[in-house]
Amino acid sequence: MWAFVLLLVVGYAFGLRALRRRGEHASRGRIVSFTAGILVLWIASDWPIGALGAGYLVSVHTVQYLLFVMAAAPLLLHGLPTPLLRTITTPGPLRASARAANRPLVAFLVFNVVMLGTHLPPVVDGLGETQLGTFAIDMAWLVSGLFFWWPVLAPLPELGALPHPGRILYLVLNVFIPTVPASFLTFADYPLYALYELSPPIEGISAVTDQRVAGLLMKVVGGFTIFGAASVLFYKWYMGEREEGGEVIAAPMRR
């Protein structure tokens, strides 16, 4: 993960340098957003969160998931200036991926399939035994997070963008399917994952209690984040409609 984070930082620096050579510049807000995304990615992967989530506490594993998908992914995506993102997605396969991510149904399916798949006991117990396996899960989370937030942020205008009501509906629909694994984690009377059941015990935290905390985190924090983003979009939609209404009223008055 250190190497991956360093690769992102170096790549971003070279990208900004290339933009400056073309007479283009990234706003301070974009740079701050990308930097914050890198910090979240590093915090979620390094000690102590990375170590505890990899094989000790499924609740911390869920915190990692939320940090990757709900924080790092949108911050990194927003932090890419449009000209730089356009350059990155110029190669054929990446352009096709960008077009696919821009489709709400595709983004919905990718996000939810990865979310469900990476929380299945055979996947967690199988991949969680090795560093390469945990890295694969982390990358799956990050990619699914980029897909999830793409229709909301619409970073490439030429691909088209959903109107604000469509984005709000898309976000709300993505609240329901994560309820499935969250419910299993919260209400199961026995540990679902052998990896965490057989891990060295942490004093005062049983495997079932840890699992229930994980389910509550997924449901409450994930849902709060999505509804929070939907509220921001609703506010922007309302203010946009209000401004357009004011212009329509003001136009006859100027005449």
Separation CA 90–CA 86 (nearest Å): 6
Helices (H) and strands (E) in the chain, counts: 14, 0
| Among the ranges given (65-79, 105-119, 198-212, 222-236), the one the predictor scored with the smallest mean pLDDT | 198-212
pLDDT of residue 248: 46
Rounded to the nearest 10°, the torsion over CA 33, 35, 37, 38 is 170
User: What does the pLDDT look like over 38-69, one tens digit per residue?
Assistant: 999 999 999 899 999 998 999 999 999 999 99
Distance from the first to the final alpha carbon of the chain: 63
Q: What is the mean pLDDT of the segment spanning 224-252? A: 80
Q: Looking at this protein, which amino acid is placed at residue 62?
A: T
Q: Where residue 145 falls among pLDDT bands split at 50, 70, 90?
A: very high
Q: What is the mean pLDDT of the segment spanning 152-158? A: 94
Q: Please say if the pLDDT value at position 3 is more than 80.
A: yes
211, 215, 233: which is closest to 223 by C-alpha?
A: 215
Neighbours of 16 (CB within 10 A): 18
Separation CA 239–CA 96 (nearest Å): 34
Q: What is the mean pLDDT of the segment spanning 103-109? A: 97
Q: Where residue 72 falls among pLDDT bands split at 50, 70, 90?
A: very high
Separation CA 16–CA 81 (nearest Å): 9
pLDDT of residue 134: 94
pLDDT of residue 200: 85
pTM (2 decimals)?
Answer: 0.92
Q: What is the mean pLDDT of the segment spanning 4-14? A: 96
Alpha helices in 79-206 (DSSP H): 82-88, 92-101, 104-117, 121-127, 131-153, 164-173, 179-187, 194-197
Q: Where residue 164 falls among pLDDT bands split at 50, 70, 90?
A: very high
Separation CA 45–CA 56 (nearest Å): 14
Mean pLDDT of all residues belonging to the chain = 92
pLDDT of residue 241: 83
